[in-house]
Structure 1
Amino acid sequence: MTGMDDSTRAALGELGPEASDSHNSMTQIFADDPVSSRLATIIHDLEPGARLPSERLLAEKLQVSRNAIRDRIGVLEGLGALARRKGSGTYVESLKPDSLAFALNLAISSSHLPLSSLESVRIALERQAAAEATEAADPVLIAYMRSALNSMASTDDSMEILEADRAFHQSLLRAAGNPALIFFADALAGVLVQGMKDRSDRSVARVSKEALIGKHEDIYEAVVSGRQEAAMAAIDEHFKALPQQAS
């Protein structure tokens, strides 16, 4: 296979087994489909922005038809792992939270999983973010949290309060300084916002502004003062007060 660069040859396994024996979560997703799993491994061995080997080369490597390769590339493109560029080829993309949200929505639809059951996952992510934020304490993001609280206090408009509430939680997640927490929380938010926005609006409307601000103040003060257990407890109390909120 002359004419290929080293990254393509490595992805196809021509630079030795060490170039293609790593697996990531995408490989596990396709564990029941050996062809997709092997294709995911090839993609994992390429850098974002790298061009995927041609369908012909992939078909030869995986010993399947080009149609089989084309179908699976289409699925991976739908998940945001690949992008076709007209007249240029197919390229590896960095997987983004909204891509994972799309996959989660598909999984939820097919398994009939209630969206409400994801709230406990979201709470767990926020508890961990609060704990880590007490140690990371990024001054800029802490300031954003304070600004969101001020925005809540300065308005009686329910939609503006809801937006400030979301801004507070987004700033808290980022204050933790943990990219994985941010990625999964953003992906989960992409699912929850689509399915639970109306219910969230009603939840905020049912709680007094003073109570809402008070719960957020407790979170803020615990994070700023570096009290990890108090920060996690404040998250729990916040969600107990707003059992159906998706902010």
Structure 2
Amino acid sequence: MLKPIKTQKIYEKIVDQIGQLVAEGHLKPGDRLPSERELVERFQVSRASIREAISALEMMGLIEVRSGEGTYIRVVNIDSVVAPLAWMLFIEKDTDLELYEARKILEVQAAGLAAERAEEDEINEMFEALEIMRIDLEHHRLGEEADHHFHYAIARATHNKILFRLMNTISDTMRKTLQSSRSKLYEDHSTPEKLYEEHYLLYEAIKNHDVVRAQKLMLEHLVGVENYLAKYMLSDVE
């Protein structure tokens, strides 16, 4: 379907150019941008357009305006990238199953990276979570916290800060938005034991640095949980 072509504003073109320079490494964190007057001359635009562009870049977190010093390219903080995602996930409706799809993509790859990179303390952290899960199982408790801690340990074992933050953002959002659904999942008496077994097999694969098996087990685990929750949500709607 054809859509109307939107005219790009002058300040947006300036933002695009500066953003491209940063992306290509021509401008690096800590570099000082030319003065407003110099930018006006280089871009051949009005001061108003430059000011709009600077305001937009500052809101995006790409630059920092220091009073009396000038404008500098910022060091991009991972939280400044992830925070808008967390907010979007929180306010968006009807994204529950989409969250599981995204989680599946991230965690299957994460399981492989963890199997490849996990160090002894991270493997021990997974085992500790499993022990808490086992004790919860014996005392007929849900074990949801131990489940969360186990997946947190896998995320940490990837040694990838961006992946770690993304996974935990999605996981934290799911804990808030799907609390009742997940409680139903754990209320099925056979489920906690099945989940424990799945987690234990996954732990062994990561401990043995078996990348392919770790990814396979994680995918099977998440597909099972996703299918159960899809049925529960469907019956809830009906």
The two structures have a TM-score, normalised by structure 1, of 0.66
Residue among 111, 120, 138 paired with 1:139? 120
| Larger mean Cα displacement after TM superposition, 132-141 or 83-92 | 83-92
**Who is 1:45 aligned against?**
26
**Residue pair 1:79, 1:103 contacting (<8 A) in 2 also:** no
**Who is 2:49 aligned against?**
68
Unaligned 5+ segments in structure 1 are 1-32
How far has the Cα of 1:139 moved from its partner?
Answer: 1.8
Mapping for residues 76-225 of structure 1, pairs under 5 Å: 76-104=57-85, 114=95, 116-155=97-136, 161-177=143-159, 179=160, 182-184=161-163, 186-187=165-166, 189-190=168-169, 193-194=172-173, 196-205=174-183, 206-207=185-186, 208-225=191-208
How far has the Cα of 1:221 moved from its partner?
Answer: 0.9
Are 1:236 and 2:219 counterparts? yes
Unaligned 5+ segments in structure 2 are 1-11, 231-238
State the structure with more CA Rg. 2
How far has the Cα of 1:115 moved from its partner?
Answer: 5.4
Higher relative contact order (CA 8 A, sep 6+): 2
- Pair 1:62–1:70, CA change in 2 (3 A): same
Across the aligned residues of Structure 1 and Structure 2, the Cα RMSD in angstroms comes to 3.4
Distance 1:113 1:96 in 2: 29
- Pair 1:66–1:238, CA change in 2 (3 A): farther
Distance 1:137 1:203 in 2: 31
Give secondary structure in 2 for the equivalent of 1:91: strand
How far has the Cα of 1:163 moved from its partner?
Answer: 4.0
Distance 1:229 1:37 in 2: 41
How far has the Cα of 1:231 moved from its partner?
Answer: 0.8
Distance 1:192 1:52 in 2: 38
How far has the Cα of 1:35 moved from its partner?
Answer: 1.9
The two structures have a TM-score, normalised by structure 2, of 0.68
Aligned residues between the structures: 207
